[in-house]
Amino acid sequence: MRNLTQYVLVVLSALSAVEAFAQTPAEPAKKMLRYEREHGGSGGVFRRDPNIWVYTTAVARDAGMPMEWASDELKGVVAAAFRREPEGAEQDCGWGGNKNACSPVMNCVLELYFDRTVQKLPWREGSPVVDFDSAKGYFSSIKHGQLWAFDSVTKTSGRKPRVIFGNTPFVDPETGKDLYWQSVGARQGTGRLQTMAYDREIHGRYSYLKLNHGCGGHPFVNGQTLNLQLEDKMTFKVDKVLYEIYLPAAWSSRAGEVVKQDREQEHNFYKGVWEGMPKGDKP
């Protein structure tokens, strides 16, 4: 009888605990963002994202990106990404006379995403929908820098890419003259951003542009302004600005830190090459 009484008390105690738990409102499970699932490293093998992002709040919400990188100060684009990437698989070797002393050839690239329903660019009439500089690895860029999970694109004659060969896909609609992207505040004669790739209909209502940003000569302190402009090729005097992009200071500071760290790594590499050279071979 005593054992039965103890059993009943244990059962009643357990039922009371279950009832109390059932009456306590459960906290909703936190939904993991798409970005966190793919790049967060929450468990197992993951792809580390090399990009320094900035985007609008709407893009952060719609694309499942971290809200901490959203900015209301971003102008002219809905998203931008900066990174350093190797230019192909080849390396520069032979530093210090050592054929095994090699370093990758690196580019600093800037990818821009536009809402083409409101952010209209002066594209060259008759230019293809998608184009790229084959020497700069357009398709690897799409894989590394994708903001959205792009739907497969129907292969049509209108989307067949050709090679840019350094030409700009933008022209002044009034004069027909070429337009170039310029980093405002860069030293005179520098700061021009060459088009590496573009897709005017990359996803939904968005268009995509990849520029060779260059790793030096650009301000990374108080934000960065990019102008699509018509300029005199001899004097660099700006005749007309047809489009302007502003990348906020918080973003440019993070991008500048990446460049700084990479320059320190390059400095250490060349320092090691110098220290490893025989004294008689040093200039």
The domain segmentation of the chain, as residue ranges, is: 51-281
Which residues have CB under 8 Å from 82's CB, separation 6+? 51, 52, 108, 109, 110, 111, 213, 251, 255, 258
What pLDDT is stored for residue 41 in this prediction? Answer: 61
Measured distance between the N- and C-terminal CA atoms of the chain, rounded to whole angstroms: 100
163 near 133, Cβ under 8 Å? yes
* Residue 42 in tokens: 């929450």
Considering only CA atoms, which of 77, 82, 81 is closest in space to residue 65?
A: 81
CA distance 5 to 24: 29
Q: What are the CB-based long-range contacts (under 8 Å, 24+) for 99-107?
A: 101/273, 101/276, 103/266, 103/269, 106/215, 106/262, 107/136, 107/212, 107/215
65 near 55, Cβ under 8 Å? yes
Per-residue pLDDT of the chain (283 residues; tens, 9 = 90+): 444 344 333 333 433 433 443 444 444 444 556 777 777 666 678 788 889 999 999 999 988 899 999 999 999 999 999 998 888 788 889 888 888 888 888 888 999 999 999 999 999 988 888 887 655 444 434 343 455 443 333 344 444 544 444 578 999 999 999 999 988 876 555 578 889 999 998 888 899 999 988 876 555 567 889 999 998 877 778 899 999 999 999 998 888 888 888 888 888 888 888 877 776 565 5
108 near 84, Cβ under 8 Å? yes
Q: What is the dihedral of CA 20, 22, 27, 31, to 10 degrees?
A: 150
CA distance 113 to 133: 18
Q: What pTM was computed for the model?
A: 0.75
What pLDDT is stored for residue 98 in this prediction? Answer: 86
